[in-house]
Amino acid sequence: MSKRGLLYGCACLLFSLAAYGREGFGFTKKAIDINRVVPPAVNINGTRVTVSVDSDRNRVAGAAATLRQYVEKAVLAGDKKLEAAEHGDLQIVVALDRLDTENEYNSKVVDDYRKEKDSKGKDRYVNHPTTKTYTTARGDIGGVYRILDSKGHVLDSGDIDRHYNEDFEYGGAPSRDRLRDQLLDWAADRVAARVVPTHVRTKVLVPKGSFEQYIPLAESGAFDQYLKAVESVSPMKDRGSDAFREYALGIAHEGLAYQTEDPKQALELLRKAAEHYQTAAANNPQEKLFAEKYNNILTSASGPIDRIAESVQKYEQWASGPTRPASNATTMASAGSGRKSVRNKDIVDMTKAGLTEENILLAIDNATAVDFDTTPDGLISLSKAGVSKKVIAKMQKK
């Protein structure tokens, strides 16, 4: 074969490879942000909301008032149709049990190897131990919440427990007041997320090739225009290549779903997105990013099939109508447990009062919140107080 023929053959080969590999994510992956909407756990029936927060402890009474304001603000911001009312269609009752913060100043000795010359002029590394100071910021918030309908039936319940512990070597540690405020804000968001939708920015890979020119539309959130643009591309004869068109259609429908206020309409769009993602994965099983997460040093994107399946499930619940009250047994258990967390002292008191092991285990199971000390000292104290091994094991598991 002549040199010219060889060059011509190589050029044809490269051209055919380029044509075959035109559709895809490209060597340098491109990810966009989708403002993903996470539906609430409780579907509200009505528009009026009453929020109350109290505490039996005087030292957190002021914090309870602040938490009430934060919860109310987060709920009303999450759903513009809601309004605060003295006697609401929905009642959010929070009991703040504890709120503690501290800043502890410590020091530690760390190795510090420095390059030096020895007596013969050769390089060597010598350790000069250095004392460094740092601040440990600690915070702890605890309590329980209950969400009730206008008749007092329990729709949902849970805790607002969180422990914060972080070291700051070069300053920047939050003040105790600042950390208290952050914990209260976190607790408010946790409760609000049970009754109003929340928004999470999620990275999503977008295909290049025939669809690269349309990426700016998806980046700007114009998913209606992105959908029209992708639909203008004719289906491709090669299933492996057409899989990227199906995937792009999935992105368009998913993005539109999160921009749709009606949960039922959004659910239909999410189901269409799921069909397109599944078709893409079936038509091109070699492209693992149709189903799996993508991670590199600069970018991390969620797996589309798992992401859309989770969204469909939550939107199905959201679109099904108002949440029904819990069963009578659950409601009585929630009411009987009170608003305090069950602690070691409660278990010891029940043991000394002669309650059977079975009764104590049931009390632990039915507790809406627990605050057990299961450190070695705590376990020793429980054993000395006569608490059975089975109850102690249940406390550790809970």
Spell 151-173 as b/e; 16+ CB within 10 A means b: eeebbbbebbbeeeeeeeeeeeb
Cβ(129)–Cβ(107) below 8 Å? no
The per-residue pLDDT for 9 is 47
Distance (Å, whole) CA 286 – CA 21: 13
**Are residues 173 and 274 part of one domain?**
no
Can you give the CATH number for the domain in which 274 is found?
1.25.40
Burial of 246 from C-beta contacts in 10 A (0-12 / 13-18 / 19+): buried
Strand 83-84 with 48-54, pairing:
parallel
- Taking the C-alpha atoms of residue 49 and residue 73, their distance in angstroms, rounded to an integer, is 11
Place of tokens 């039936």: 153
User: Containing H/E element for 167?
Assistant: strand 162-168
Asked if residue 7 is part of any domain, the answer here is no
Clarify whether residues 346 and 245 are in a common domain.
Answer: no
Does 334 fall in a domain?
no
333 inside domain: no
190 and 205, same domain (yes or no): no
4 domain residue, yes or no = no
> Which residues, including other chains, have CB under 8 Å from residue 337's CB and lie 6 or more apart?
366, 367, 368, 369
Q: Per-residue confidence of the chain (398 residues) as pLDDT tens digits?
A: 555 554 444 444 443 334 345 899 998 899 999 999 999 999 888 899 999 998 877 778 889 999 999 999 999 999 999 999 988 899 999 999 999 999 998 888 888 898 888 888 899 898 888 888 889 999 999 999 999 998 889 999 999 999 999 989 877 899 999 999 999 999 999 999 999 999 999 999 999 999 999 999 999 999 999 999 999 999 999 999 999 999 999 999 999 999 999 999 999 999 999 999 999 999 999 999 998 888 877 677 888 999 999 999 999 999 998 888 865 444 444 444 444 578 888 898 888 877 888 778 878 877 777 888 888 778 888 888 899 988 988 888 77
196, 92 contact by CB (below 8 A):
no
Count of domains in the chain?
3
* Residue 170 and residue 88 share a domain: yes
Give the CB-side neighbour count of residue 159, counting CA atoms within 13 A. 19
* Same-domain status, 207 and 192: no
| Residue where a domain stops, chosen among 196, 223, 253 | 196
- Domain assignment present for residue 335? The answer is no
Domain end residue (candidates: 153, 174, 196): 196
| pLDDT for residue 331 | 43
Residues 109 and 190 in one domain: yes
DSSP 326: P
Q: What backbone phi and psi angles, to 5 degrees, belong to 98?
A: -155, 150
Give yes or no: residues 304 and 368 share one domain: no
Answer yes or no: do 141 and 171 share one domain.
yes
Residue 13, classified by CB atoms within 10 Å of its CB into exposed (0-12), middle (13-18) or buried (19+), is: exposed
Q: Which helix (H) or strand (E) holds 306?
A: helix 304-319
What's residue 107's pLDDT?
A: 86
- Return the half-sphere exposure (C-beta side, CA atoms, 13 A cut-off) of residue 2: 3
Check whether residue 233 and residue 364 sit in a common domain: no
Same domain for 311 and 265: yes
Identify whether residues 178 and 81 lie together within a single domain: yes
Residue 9 lies in a domain: no
The answer to whether residue 216 is domain-embedded is yes
How close are the terminal C-alpha atoms of the chain, in Å?
Answer: 78
- Please identify, among 175, 196, 217, the residue that sits at the C-terminal boundary of a domain: 196
Report pLDDT for 257. 97
Residue with tokens 């043991």: 351
**Measured on CA atoms in the order 72, 78, 82, 88, is the torsion positive or negative?**
negative
Closest CA to 184 of 148, 143, 146: 143
Instruction: Supply the range of the domain harboring residue 168.
Output: 48-196
Residue at 270 is within a domain:
yes
